[in-house]
Structure 1
Amino acid sequence: MSSGKLQLAEDCMKYATDLSGLLLLYSSLGDAEGMSKLASLAKEQGKNNVAFLCLFMLGRLEDCLQLLVESNRIPEAALMARSYLPSKVSEIVALWRKDLSKVNSKAAESLADPEEYPNLFEDWQVARSVEANAVEARGVYAAAENYATQADQPFITLVEAFRNLQVEAEEPLENGDRDDEVAEENGEEENEGGEEEVNQEEGVVDEDSTDGSAEGEEEWVLTPHQ
């Protein structure tokens, strides 16, 4: 491998059944087909750790979950379902309860199912939405040559990305509402200003009319002759 003879290195690893070496080689090359074959080979030979890594990097999360269940790693399967496959959590929790009840029934009863207690699981509905939106992207594999550009991108979880999308979608509405509120406030201020001007004008008219009426009364007062 150090001399760049990758094909020869691959053949040697296959003959030597060096599954860890093949995992390193295929993951470095971005060889999805090789990873898929290696997953099957590792599973046949009972190398579940290698098989799991291959399946996980291929985005075959359901197969990862099934492998954990078949290996009797049910608690790990529950944690993985919570992180990557929320729709499978209830199914795995039921298996976990059944398995744990053989040892400790009280502990088995204490396991919470998100379908029964969604308030105990933060961002549960968001996680379900993220899972539904991310299904199609699992089978899309980026080329290994794009690693440099991908590595420079800031790390963000799918839940955070989904939240950001929701915030961006809500911002225009909030700004629009705010603009309407400002417009209404400005309109009210203008109306108040107009009313003040009208009142002032009315006050002037009233004063003039009052003065005029007073002058008229003085002009037409009859005084007795002396």
Structure 2
Amino acid sequence: MRGDLERANLVLPSIPKEHHNSVARFLESRGMMEDALEVATDPDYRFELAIQLGKLDIAQEIAMLAQSESKWKQLGELAMSTGKLEMAEECLKQANDLSGLLLLYSSLGDAEGITQLASLAKEHGKNNVAFLCLFMLGKLEDCLQLLVESNRIPEAALMARSYLPSKASEIVALWRKDLNKINPKAAESLADPEEYPNLFEDWQIALAVESRVAETRGNYPPAAEYVQHSDRSVASLVESFRNMQVNEEEPLVNGGLDHEVPEQNEDEVQEECKDEIQVVEHDDGHEEAVVVDADSTDGAVLMNSKEVEEEEWGTNDEGNPS
């Protein structure tokens, strides 16, 4: 035990088995974890050592013999964190860890697994997990039915208003009937969208959106395609549908964003400048640039600022005011 492992292995068979766990703990204290695992006989202790060493196969064998949900759950979480997903699924099933299975299946985009989990969750009375499974699968009608069966009728009405407006009147009728047992006046105050559509904003648009997206609710793209869908707009379907209608109704008019102004190249600009600016030679021999009115039909010449000033004030030949 003082470093002579060969001699220790020779002595070990002579030690009674009831003392093997003590020897294993001594080996563990010396950092000899693998040797401790071989010597230990207590299943719980061996399971802990196997988990610490990452020997999941040994831990799985021990868990199968012990049939302990806590061991299965601990092993399942470790298997998931190390990427052993098949083992993780088996362990989470053995542990009845429905939340862990939901995390696993949703991460993998496993629609079949989520479908099975929804049924399993309903059998175990885990309505929260069952609802999430059905919602991710796009089975909104089943979500409403689950809420009604769970006596969550107000929540069902709100969900129908948001996702299944065609079912809203049906759920409101159930809500009125249930609420009438407690508060008849409050039950009468509940508005039915079919009776008072003016009280529900964009009601007709919501009905149109529901019928349009109903066909796509059963499409389950694989999780590997997440990057292709991550940049999709976060705008609501009602808002997108409303904007689409506005774009279809408004025709393109002049002056809009699509109205293009032809660009002129540098040669054309210089040519126009030449046409507008001309050089005039005076009798005394000096030259002066003047601007020609390009829009004028009679070729009128605009005087420069000096000429305008002289004409306005009136000057004599010597430059003095007259």
Please indicate the TM-score interval, normalised by the length of the shorter structure: 0.7 to 0.9
User: Mind listing any 5+ residue stretches in structure 1 that lack a counterpart?
Assistant: 179-226
Corresponding residue pairs, total: 176
Shift of 1:168: 2.2
Structure with bigger gyration radius: 2
Does residue 155 of structure 1 match 2:234? yes
Partner residue in 1 for 2:96: 17
Shift of 1:152: 2.5
Shift of 1:51: 0.2
Give the partner amino acid of 2:104. Answer: L
Q: Deviations over 1:160-181 (max 9, x none)?
A: 1111221221123x649x9xxx
Does residue 128 of structure 1 match 2:207? yes
Give the partner amino acid of 1:101. Answer: N
Does residue 93 of structure 1 match 2:137? no
Q: Deviations over 1:191-221 (max 9, x none)?
A: xxxxxxxxxxxxxxxxxxxxxxxxxxxxxxx
Q: Deviations over 1:36-72 (max 9, x none)?
A: 0000000011000000000000000000000000000
Q: Deviations over 1:88-113 (max 9, x none)?
A: 00000000000000000000000000
Stretches of 4+ moved more than 6 A in 1?
Answer: none
SS at match of 1:167: helix
Distance 1:118 1:161 in 2: 21
Q: 1:6 aligns with which of 70, 82, 85?
A: 85
Distance 1:98 1:175 in 2: 54
Task: Provide the TM-score with structure 1 as the length reference.
Answer: 0.75
Partner residue in 1 for 2:140: 61
For the aligned residue pairs, the C-alpha RMSD in angstroms reads 1.4
The percent identity for this pair of structures is 74
Distance 2:247 2:108 in 1: 37
Shift of 1:142: 1.7
Distance 2:123 2:106 in 1: 20
Shift of 1:9: 0.1
Does residue 106 of structure 1 match 2:185? yes
Partner residue in 1 for 2:221: 142
Does residue 44 of structure 1 match 2:119? no
Distance 2:89 2:165 in 1: 37
Q: 2:197 aligns with which of 114, 118, 125?
A: 118
Shift of 1:148: 2.4
Partner residue in 2 for 1:31: 110
Does residue 80 of structure 1 match 2:142? no
User: Mind listing any 5+ residue stretches in structure 2 that lack a counterpart?
Assistant: 1-79, 257-322
Distance 1:90 1:155 in 2: 28
Q: Deviations over 1:125-164 (max 9, x none)?
A: 0000000001001001121112223223331111011112
Distance 1:88 1:63 in 2: 12
Please identify which structure carries the higher strand content: 2
Distance 2:221 2:240 in 1: 19
Distance 2:183 2:232 in 1: 46
Please identify which structure carries the higher helix content: 1
Distance 1:148 1:117 in 2: 43
